[in-house]
Amino acid sequence: MPVTDVSTHKNSLFCFCEKKEGENTQKLHIMEVGTPAAGQPKFKKSADIQIQQDGDFPVLMQDCPKFGVLFIITKFGFLYMYEVSTASLLYRQKITDQLCVVATRNTKTDGMIVVNKAGQILSVNVEENNLIPYINASGHIADNKNLSFKLAQRFHLSGADEIFVQMFNQKLASADYAGAAAVARDAPGTLLRNSETINKFKNLPQGAGGPAPILIYFNALLQSTKLNAIESVELARPVIQQNKLNLIENWIKDQKLIMTDELGDMIRVANPQMALGIYQQSGSPEKVIQGLIETN
């Protein structure tokens, strides 16, 4: 099972269940099997599986990398859902009275398709819009507020908007501009990636000898994601004024910018040929015809 954190480090995990001879406790183990991130020990977590009936034990397991969870189904038909980074039990429910004999990944939902002994086909999936609110409201999950924020940040899930905004404002207030940029980058949708955030960074004081806060913001985005339409225009504007069109050309090649008519209009005076390429990708026939005429 691949694991990804917000620092973009990727690795693989080996997940298995164990019951040692002479012991009543059954355990879930999650171990990193590749090379860990620089300066970090290998990731390893374990947790007791809270078996509900005597004689029950896990028979099937499926990872769900889209949400960072594991599904486990036991002999007596109980479903367990664990969060991988903490080995926390999120959910437990009996889903069938029949022995489940085979399971596979649902490639469309990243869930689990199960067939039991009676021939029934069961579908197990995570409700994307409800996962974070569910964790926020679940007192049985240790440090549930922090866990919900980390999952929302890592997998760009909705439901933790207030936490993102609060964290963003706290980091700005403490002059942790890189941290604030990271929170904005990982927030869902345009919650923080908008004109208001850009203007906040523009108006922040620059530290002695350090880069301008707005550059810190854009660098955080460019390192790991693609700019949205507003960000693309705002980043391009000062670059065009400084006549550093080669930077824009490189960002376009690396697919870091959203191609819009507004971006093309800004570049057109300085480089009509580049603007024509932007118009062609933005899907504006009138602008493309205009650009073809201007470039002969």
CATH number of the domain that residue 47 is part of: 2.40.128
Are 175 and 274 part of one and the same domain? yes
| pLDDT score of 7 | 53
CATH of the domain at 187: 1.25.40.30
Is residue 49 assigned to a domain?
yes
Provide the whole-model pTM: 0.73
Enclosing domain of residue 43? 2-99
**246 φ, ψ (degrees, to nearest 5):** -60, -30
Residue 119 falls inside a structural domain? no
Q: Is 233 helix (H, G, I), strand (E, B) or coil?
A: helix
pLDDT tens string, the chain, 296 residues long: the values are 444 344 567 789 999 999 998 888 899 999 999 888 888 899 999 999 999 888 999 999 999 999 999 999 999 999 999 999 999 999 999 999 999 999 999 999 999 999 999 999 999 999 999 999 999 999 999 999 889 989 998 888 888 898 899 999 999 999 999 999 999 998 988 999 999 999 999 999 887 778 899 999 999 999 989 999 999 999 999 999 999 999 999 999 999 999 999 999 999 988 999 989 999 998 888 888 887 888 88
> For residues 158 and 83, what is the distance between their CA atoms, to the nearest angstrom?
17
Query: Is residue 106 situated within a structural domain?
Result: no
Residues 83 and 202 grouped into a single domain: no
CA 280 → CA 232, 249, 293, distances in Å? 17, 15, 14
290 burial level (CB within 10 Å; 0-12, 13-18, 19+)? middle
Query: Which of 67, 99, 131 is the C-terminal boundary of a domain?
Result: 99
Does residue 108 form part of some domain? no
**Position 147 in a domain:** no
Of the residues 78, 99, 120, the one at which a domain ends: 99
| 86 inside domain | yes
Structural domain count, the chain: 2
